[in-house]
Structure 1
Amino acid sequence: MTDHGGSLARAAALFPHAPTPWLDLSTGINPHSYPLFDLPATAYRRLPEEARAQELAAAAARAYGAESAAHVAAAPGTQILLPLVASLVDPGAGKVLSPTYAEHARAAALAGHRVEAVERFEQLFESNLAIVVNPNNPDGRVVPRARLLELAAHLAKKGGLLVVDEAFMDVGPGGESLAGDVGEGGIVVLRSFGKFFGLAGLRLGFALAAPAVAQRLGAWLGPWAVAGPAMEIGLPALDDRKWQAAMRETLRAEAARLDGLLERYGLAVSGGTYLFRYVLTPAAPDLFDFLGGRGILLRNFADRPEALRIGLPGGEAEFSRLENALENWRKGEGR
């Protein structure tokens, strides 16, 4: 398994004397989760009904801009979809626009592809499976929809597939989404529920694709792929446009506040989304260690030692804790 953010067990092993509770800023998960509510006992006691699953698919289509529920395959998180989607085309040249979320390359390799991480968009035209995370994790890069459609058309002519992971498009430029374009075939869009709604532990995600492809993915997943409680929470959340709009404004303001805080301490933000910020600095290893020793976990990268991804603090207390730690870091305490 590739290392990821969000592992407090890893953090405790790295920093055994750090104070707790941890302030985990190593993920891109919304710290302000969708408000939970009491669920009917049947959500736990009974297997999910197919009719309810279709309601969930329809809600996802409305929320993400797919043409209909027939274009949606629901899953227990998008992670489980990665090797399935990569298996939609015969093993061949798989290229992932990088640096990005490492699981795409691993999943494509599991599906038998010869995987190569490439840094130029034009190199994706040489593949039969092309994978783009848009907006990108961790730097927030956005590839315009027009360029992606050009790539998809090129790949389709030779039986290839474009996979666009839009896990962070809820806080990205919605006009660049390919969710409404999947009906033509040759494109699969992945959407994550847990990140924007702050409910990653619920394990809910979606593949948007042409109906035949969505049906094939659903058949591979089998019946009852999504748990009853996930359905009952996902349905109202996906249709709650008022909460979504207000949350985008909240996250926009908090990302700007985090930028200002980081920049006061010489940490210029070079990218990211409203759910995480991306910093490049020679001081990254020192800052990661310093904050980790004080119970604040950032996301570092073994192959990019100068890079850090920093998630949003969840309120005044967490912002103050981060600010105090950065002030002590600037003063050189403990170094």
Structure 2
Amino acid sequence: MIGPADLPTGLQPAHRDVDLRHHGDAEVGDGLADFAVNVRTGMPPAWLAERLRASVADLAAYPDPRPARRAVARRHGRAVDEVLLTAGAAEAFVLLARVLAPRKAVVVHPQFTEPEAALRAAGHTVERVILGKDFTLDPAFPSGGTTPQAPRQGPLIPDDADLVVIGNPTNPTSVLHPSGAIAALAAPGRTVVVDEAFMDCVPGEPETLASKLPAGVAVIRSLTKTWGLAGLRAGYVLADPHLIGRLAEAQPLWAVSTPALVAIEACSAPEAVAEAEAWAAALAAERDRLAGELTARGLYVVPEARASFLCLRVPDALGIRALLRQRGYAVRRGDTFPGLGTDWLRIAVRDRTSNDALLDVLGELGI
């Protein structure tokens, strides 16, 4: 069986020449079957689409975020002044980069690259922490991992880091870190930003910090993935009222459109949360089946996947990606994620029929 790569772990300057702005949407098009974008297919559901259509009647008025903000606060058991609505998670990363002035910003990789891109665009120097084998954050020692070539000598996250960014569950690895391990990263004078864009893929959300919100922790959430709203841009930040106030001051007026506000309010309702929970349970079963099929073929799949995608190591992954495109399938290249390389792919989990069709094509390619 192909094992995990012996990747260099630890603190690294952000100098590796990777395209941080490359995302899954760049992989699709031309009628390709989409296994590259981690947005749920067949969405939004009819009830949500109808509410969005109805919201067009209110477009003459300026957006009023108050009902949606109250709905998000109720959904997570937070105060209203701990909530800021944003045009997707991406805007939240930009706002944080504009408002915070870190002396030492650290981004834990592999993970979604937009937080680092936003920090760099705002003029901040960024250092990367590369997690070790299986890309897990050790709950007993939350600052890192180990490889045979590079035994752990001490914390990977330096004590003087005053900004730490981490995903949970993490894109692209699908790893769900223990909430206690992430909370343990918090320290006086440090802001910990947790990207929970895929947390609603996890039944029960046992590791979310949205409802706990420890001091110094900011949580970013998105409706894009589960509800199929990438084109609408709907997300939010949960943090202490002081930070929320600073972010709000940096945010353009009326940044979140009326249809997006309608979606945020609707998807935060108890019945919508229950619907997402049922989907997450079905997703988990199909994801585990697909992971088992790929593992049985001798591929290394990052274990304990908990989001709506799998991260796997494939010999000549870029070549396999090109051959899949020729056969009508788009998958996400892994080499634009710091901490991965040219032998990694990310594959979105679809329905069983679609997943089996992809497996058949992989079989034709000798995988």
TM range (shorter): 0.7 to 0.9
Equivalent residue of 1:247, what SS?
helix
Match of 1:15 in 2: none
Q: 1:118 aligns with which of 117, 129, 145?
A: 129
| 1:7 pairs with 2:26 | yes
Match of 1:216 in 2: 246
Match of 2:209 in 1: 178
Query: What one-letter code is carried by the residue in structure 2 that aligns with 1:90?
Result: A
TM-score by length of 2: 0.78
Deviations 1:289-309 (A, max 9, x none): 211111211111235111110
Q: 1:168 & 1:28 partners in 2: Cα distance?
A: 9
4+ residue runs over 6 A deviation: none
Per residue, is there more helix in 1 or in 2? 1
Q: 1:174 & 1:221 partners in 2: Cα distance?
A: 29
Give unmatched runs, 5+ long, in structure 1. 13-19
Q: 2:350 & 2:180 partners in 1: Cα distance?
A: 35
> Which structure 2 residues correspond to residues 23-172 of structure 1 after superposition, within 5 A?
23-35=33-45, 36-37=49-50, 38-49=53-64, 53-63=65-75, 65-120=76-131, 121=143, 122-124=155-157, 125-152=159-186, 154=187, 157=188, 159-172=189-202
Match of 2:17 in 1: none
Q: 2:176 & 2:194 partners in 1: Cα distance?
A: 11
User: Residue 89 of structure 1 contacts residue 160 of structure 1 at CA under 8 Å; is this kept in 2?
Assistant: no
Equivalent residue of 2:111, what SS?
coil
Number of equivalences: 312
User: Residue 175 of structure 2 contacts residue 307 of structure 2 at CA under 8 Å; is this kept in 1?
Assistant: no
Q: 2:254 & 2:233 partners in 1: Cα distance?
A: 13
Match of 1:306 in 2: 343
Deviation (angstroms), 1:94: 0.6
Query: What one-letter code is carried by the residue in structure 2 that aligns with 1:132?
Result: I
Deviation (angstroms), 1:85: 1.1
Deviation (angstroms), 1:134: 1.2
Query: What one-letter code is carried by the residue in structure 2 that aligns with 1:115?
Result: V
Equivalent residue of 2:165, what SS?
strand
User: Residue 166 of structure 1 contacts residue 177 of structure 1 at CA under 8 Å; is this kept in 2?
Assistant: yes
User: Which sits farther off after the overlay, 38-47 or 27-36?
Assistant: 38-47
Residues 147 and 40 from structure 1, CA distance in 2 versus in 1: closer, same or farther, beyond 3 angstroms?
A: closer
TM-score by length of 1: 0.85
Deviation (angstroms), 1:254: 2.2
Q: CA RMSD in A?
A: 2.3
User: Residue 193 of structure 2 contacts residue 219 of structure 2 at CA under 8 Å; is this kept in 1?
Assistant: yes
Q: 2:278 & 2:211 partners in 1: Cα distance?
A: 24
Q: 1:208 & 1:146 partners in 2: Cα distance?
A: 18
User: Residue 35 of structure 2 contacts residue 347 of structure 2 at CA under 8 Å; is this kept in 1?
Assistant: yes
Query: What one-letter code is carried by the residue in structure 2 that aligns with 1:78?
Result: A
Query: What one-letter code is carried by the residue in structure 2 that aligns with 1:171?
Result: C
User: Residue 174 of structure 2 contacts residue 308 of structure 2 at CA under 8 Å; is this kept in 1?
Assistant: no
User: Residue 267 of structure 1 contacts residue 279 of structure 1 at CA under 8 Å; is this kept in 2?
Assistant: yes
Equivalent residue of 2:231, what SS?
helix
Equivalent residue of 2:194, what SS?
strand
Equivalent residue of 2:342, what SS?
coil
| 1:287 pairs with 2:302 | no
User: Which sits farther off after the overlay, 274-283 or 263-272?
Assistant: 263-272
Identity in percent: 28
Residues 142 and 321 from structure 1, CA distance in 2 versus in 1: closer, same or farther, beyond 3 angstroms?
A: closer
Query: What one-letter code is carried by the residue in structure 2 that aligns with 1:106?
Result: A
Deviations 1:255-280 (A, max 9, x none): 12322443454434224333101111
